[in-house]
Amino acid sequence: MPATCDIEVVVFDVLGTMVDESGGIRAAISDALPALDDASGEGEVSVDRLLAVWSGHVEREQRRIGEGAREYANSEVIDREAAQRVAECAGLTDLVAIGRLAAASQRLSPWEDSVAGLTRLARHFPVLGLSHASRGALLRLNAYAGLRWHQVLSAEAARAYKPAPEVYRLAIEAAGCPPERVLMVAAHAWDLRGAQAVGMRTAYVQRPVGDPPRAADSFGRRTRSLEELVAALTAE
């Protein structure tokens, strides 16, 4: 580790930050419904509209769990529900196709710099993944995307979803050092705010999709790519 750096462990969000979540789900919907009109805004159903159905369901149910309106359900359960909603909206009845769609989050491609950046950073720091994805989904996703971690943690262990503080504490406990020596990296500003609330350091990485910082956000770093962040961390 660079001697002048006071960060001991780097923690990464996975979905959206290291892999293209929305692009992967979109591709899976297209595969399940090859005859569907893909033109956004044309016709009653389009891939874009079905993607919104999927993401809206996932976000809503995770929020309900966080608010105590629903008991905890892991990502595989919620993804199956999302796939069923998409199927109902599109008139898809093929059970095999619906089942494959439900597992789409386990087949997400990494961003162009994810694999190389993670490998390079791992030569200098312990690196952890911290994800909403269930343990089983993470196992398959990491294998598919070629992501190699020193350790990967699922929010399933806390029976909660970020930004619940208990999820970030999983990473702090695994790191075995004070939270101010643990860096949380994400493409989602809401995720970094949650990490800040438990004392973690933060770094925003820009991705084509995500939740960009607001003017009031005071994250430790803001970079345009993982490559840029890795270069900065390993140069210190």
* Domain extent listing, the chain: 9-20+108-235, 21-106
pLDDT tens, residue order, the chain (236 aa):
343 369 999 999 999 999 999 999 999 999 999 987 544 444 467 999 999 999 999 999 999 999 999 999 999 999 999 999 999 999 999 999 999 999 999 999 999 999 999 999 999 999 999 999 999 999 999 999 999 999 999 999 999 999 999 999 999 999 999 999 999 999 999 999 999 999 999 999 999 998 999 999 999 999 999 999 999 999 86
> Is 82 in contact with 50 (CB distance < 8 Å)?
no
* CATH superfamily of domain region 9-20+108-235: HAD superfamily/HAD-like (3.40.50.1000)
Residue 54 CA to residue 95 CA, distance in Å, equals 17
Residue 17 CA to residue 226 CA, distance in Å, equals 9
